[in-house]
Structure 1
């Protein structure tokens, strides 16, 4: 007796595929809505490499906030980078109607087969809206239950063809794997080799960094990239820990390049660390674009610093990472697929995901980390070419 017919585009069910799996031949034109935060966006790029590996002839577009676009516009796996502005939500719908409509028209001309909305996008309305307005056949995203708004939950249930189950609480699944689960939900199983973050600084940023290093007589792979600051004060390394680490590097004659974000408090913190030190302490705080930071990471020997966006950029560029975790969740946000040593204190409240204790900007768990612990991890990296332990807790 003949089996039941499978709807067009839906794969015949097998033991490992979901019952509503989609044939890869029906998913050649893909739009990915990326997260708004730097580290999340870097981790979500695993979708790009996985799709390119499984569907080599696919055309992958991304929709990303403009400040992050420079990390992806030179990636040969991406056909087009579309951008939104960070202040559109503040300005309101009417004041941004013109650029929104221009974006929708540009996306409509691309004729997508599949929309993927990152589970970490803070504005959950873009996915359902574009699914409806562009007439995209398939859309996959996180569980509707992850949204606090009843309207957004309704839109996701109504318009998305595929969603993930609600994550467990606590959820210790790495964010990169959570993104890859979106593909698994469609019946696509990425190989381990294809599950890599993929960013590309581009030739101009690489040339600028090469020229900068040459002007300072810094050899390629001959310096430590030190990023002690995060976007939140409560995730920034204590100044005393930073000074002890820099003292150690100075004593050993190591070159350290210090980087930070562009906010005034971040630059003030970094400048104070570098002040009064020799030529081997290179202060680039607040001077680099994201693409230049990625190019700098590709030229460094090791990354040392805080749980931050620059940490994820360094990991994506293949740089070994030594990172101190405080309020952030090291299970879900540790560096992805690179040599790493994670340093964290033993506190029952970790991870709290707050900006320090009680959102005070001061995290006791980071101040609990002893300088000797960081120096031991750094010396272990220097002493061995073998992979550093994947996690080291104190």
Structure 2
């Protein structure tokens, strides 16, 4: 349809993990349209994350919060962007996310139908969830012709950090990197049914701390209580960074990890995009829907009949999908990625 675009605006998602996965679409667009400039319209909090995405020229920020229409702000931004882009791709399915490209009169506006967006999109796509089961596949498909074969080939999302930023984060947070670093991410915004028990995280941390590793526990300010519990159970080798880092600092610090253990969360996707050895723990969510895509990732789940249930709280009241997932299983999966996990001695199942 028409000439190849030279200036493309992606309307990005409002969740960390989804924003990371949008980088796969960036790679596809650059490959399909060599020389094209790709910008990402993103919530202000995610600008630092977008800045670490290879292939993105810049973040166009909007401060309207998640769930807020912010019509005047969107209109003001649209006026500023008028004439700046040939094509827009709207990744979220909400009506408000399609407003800026429409009001900015961007000639081509692609996105999936939803929330009565017929008039706002002129390249509407009907989502076939069976042919595109994964979120990242749905993003990538928006950058391809409507008649492209599905599911499409999906490049793994990538993030890049700069040494100076990493050093600044270490200095500001007074952190030492003299030893191997394990990063634990015990939070998950969605709810308790996605959170592996704190004592299980702590057991993994205790084992590696006993082998001389340093343990950093990361997350948002809402994860501080859980992170503090994990640190207390591990002992002096653990440092609680939950709520102490910006998102930019979190990305930069995760790049230093020799191993990461995380719930299905935004930081899990960050670790995968940085190609860190990662054990990704799934309870109520589906690893077939939002998996970590790097070859250095391993999914760890129980595969119970009642999961994935996609609930915030366990509807059965037992949370067996997470409570019965033992620390040994997670350590075994990490050992697949790090053969000398036990300071030079290969770790074998059942030896701990």
Q: Does 1:116 align with 2:89?
A: yes
Q: Deviations over 1:324-361 (max 9, x none)?
A: 1001110121111231211111322221222131398x
Structure-2 residue corresponding to 1:104: 78
Change (3 A) 1:199 1:164: farther
Matches within 5 A, 1:3-82: 9=2, 25-73=3-51, 75=53, 77-82=55-60
User: How many angstroms apart in 2 are the aligned matches of 1:276 and 1:236?
Assistant: 17
Query: SS at the partner of 2:303?
Result: coil
> TM-score by structure 2 length?
0.85
C-alpha root-mean-square deviation of aligned residues, in Å? 3.0
User: How many angstroms apart in 2 are the aligned matches of 1:317 and 1:193?
Assistant: 20
Q: Does 1:261 align with 2:225?
A: no
Q: Deviations over 1:362-394 (max 9, x none)?
A: 733111212322232233333269xxxxxxxxx
Residue 275 of structure 1 deviates from its aligned partner by: 2.0
Structure-1 residue corresponding to 2:102: 132
Q: Where does structure 2 lack aligned partners over 5 or more consecutive residues? A: 342-352
Residue 300 of structure 1 deviates from its aligned partner by: 1.2
Query: SS at the partner of 1:257?
Result: strand
Structure-1 residue corresponding to 2:278: 321
Q: Deviations over 1:144-184 (max 9, x none)?
A: 2xx3x4xx15436xx3224144322xx77322222111122
Q: Deviations over 1:103-135 (max 9, x none)?
A: 11121141x2111111xx2523332x3443233
Q: Does 1:380 align with 2:336?
A: yes
User: How many angstroms apart in 2 are the aligned matches of 1:180 and 1:52?
Assistant: 12
User: How many angstroms apart in 2 are the aligned matches of 1:188 and 1:206?
Assistant: 40
Change (3 A) 1:229 1:219: same
Structure-2 residue corresponding to 1:340: 297
Q: Does 1:166 align with 2:128?
A: yes
Q: Where does structure 1 lack aligned partners over 5 or more consecutive residues? A: 1-7, 10-24, 386-394
> TM-score by structure 1 length?
0.77
Structure with the larger helix share: 1
Query: SS at the partner of 2:225?
Result: helix
Residue 307 of structure 1 deviates from its aligned partner by: 0.9
Q: Deviations over 1:191-230 (max 9, x none)?
A: x9982323345566323234368x543238x211111211
Change (3 A) 1:295 1:359: farther
Query: SS at the partner of 2:10?
Result: strand
Query: Quick check: 2:259–2:334 contact (8 Å CA) kept in 1?
Result: no
Q: Does 1:217 align with 2:176?
A: yes
User: How many angstroms apart in 1 are the aligned matches of 2:253 and 2:280?
Assistant: 18
Q: Does 1:229 align with 2:229?
A: no
User: How many angstroms apart in 2 are the aligned matches of 1:193 and 1:89?
Assistant: 32
Query: Quick check: 1:224–1:301 contact (8 Å CA) kept in 2?
Result: yes
User: How many angstroms apart in 2 are the aligned matches of 1:172 and 1:373?
Assistant: 30
Residue 88 of structure 1 deviates from its aligned partner by: 7.3
Q: Deviations over 1:64-94 (max 9, x none)?
A: 111111111355632331122243754x55x
Query: SS at the partner of 1:217?
Result: coil
Query: Quick check: 1:46–1:180 contact (8 Å CA) kept in 2?
Result: yes
Query: SS at the partner of 1:299?
Result: coil
User: How many angstroms apart in 1 are the aligned matches of 2:54 and 2:199?
Assistant: 43
Query: Quick check: 1:50–1:196 contact (8 Å CA) kept in 2?
Result: no
Change (3 A) 1:369 1:31: same
